[in-house]
Amino acid sequence: MSKYLLFLFLCFPVLADSYESVATLPSSNEDEVWVITNRTIDGVTRRYIEQFQPVDWGSDSNDMYFVDCGNDDINDLSHLEGEQVSLFANARQIGTYTVADSNITITDANLTTFTVGLPYTSVYESMPLVKLTRAGLSSSKRARIINTYMDFYKSLASNIGAVSTNTSKTKFSSDEFATILEPVTELKPILFPNGWNMEPCIYIDVNSPVPLTLRAMYPRLEITGN
């Protein structure tokens, strides 16, 4: 969610894509968060000064900002040369592109409002779920997650499963958001196809340039005596 402002070229190797310094400044709504970020761009190590964008983007879907090192000009991307970037345009998730000659080429002439930058993945994994039964805690039993209700707030994408290698895409729109994206706030039932496990967990990730906020989960477990 950080926005690119300026960059410096460096010649010595250091860890890529890491925050090396963080500072906060008071502001009227949210504190401003500024970082010095170490990134490897097109094989070259660079440091950028970036600012995190507000979590509360307001009521206009065009103002969503969920990319790193981003910009709002698709022809001013020299700081991301050679990198694969995500494009969010006209309040729609458009796709991924590779920056060449400081820009990306889009074919839809109707797109006029852009947010483009490096994609990132947000991950949540619960602690092993435990249920109190008549025989005691289920921590020593095999269990499986039958389903869970997820309380989403202003969200548009998520992948959910019992393990990271077997997740299902949550359906937030009947038309896969072919039109303007509107954030969803609702309690949604999620089925879990995974089998029995001694330590059942809920795994959630999102790698799209759109928001995901989860306020609560209400899982239903089935316990076996074996």
Confidence of residue 166 (pLDDT cuts 50, 70, 90): confident
> Is the pLDDT confidence value at 15 over 50?
no
Distances (CA, A) of 26 to 22, 29, 53, 64, 108: 14, 9, 14, 22, 40
CA dist 115 and 74 (Å) reads 8
Mean pLDDT score of the chain: 85
Instruction: Report if pTM > 0.85.
Output: no
Q: DSSP label at 197?
A: B
Q: Which tens digit of pLDDT belongs to each residue from 170-200?
A: 888 877 777 778 899 999 998 887 778 888 8
- The pairs formed by 131-137 with CB atoms below 8 angstroms and a separation of 24 or more are 131/221, 131/223, 133/223, 135/225
Domain coordinates in residue numbering, the chain = 2-118, 122-224
| Range 67-93 average pLDDT | 93
| Range 137-151 average pLDDT | 84
